[in-house]
Amino acid sequence: MEYKTLFIVDPAKSERIQLAKFVKHEKFTVLTFVALADCFKRVGILNPDLIVYVLRKGKTETQHMSVVKDKHKNVPFILVTTPDTLDVNLVQLKDKGFAAVHKAGNNEKVREIVIELLAPDGLAPRTETPHPVPHGFQPLPSVPA
């Protein structure tokens, strides 16, 4: 499995970091952004293989997807709905030129779709072995006999 790049767009910092930790894997490069327009400012540096776009009322909504240029509409999108957002019309987005748009309601569904799209053969086993002694472990002082 080759390395894949995943962009997460969510204006809520704590939620954005939590989602990034939830979907991380050693073969995924995860970058987080506050706004969708920020993803495409420096396109030449890293191109996304997948964009997770968390919908939040008044901050990130489907109408903000108009900033996506035609050349980036072939990148798969996962739209994460929150309780305060309206229902998403995936057919309407596909009619606007988006090639692959998926909808998820929670982090587990996001992870499932991410693995399905970025690692269709399944995730590779971890190559690094855990350290036998946790970092920061301090042995107890020896007791004189």
Query: Domain residues of the chain, as ranges?
Result: 4-89+98-118
**Pairwise CA distance, residues 130 & 140, whole Å:** 22
How remote is the C-alpha of 80 from its chain's centroid? 10
88 confidence band (pLDDT: 50, 70, 90): confident
63 confidence band (pLDDT: 50, 70, 90): confident
Q: Indicate the residue type of 50.
A: L
Average pLDDT over all residues of the chain? 81
- Residue 104: enclosing H or E segment and its boundaries? strand 101-104
Specify whether the CB–CB gap between 16 and 10 falls below 8 A. yes
CATH homologous superfamily of domain 4-89+98-118?
Response regulator (3.40.50.2300)
Specify whether the CB–CB gap between 54 and 10 falls below 8 A. yes
Q: Residue 83 pLDDT more than 60?
A: yes
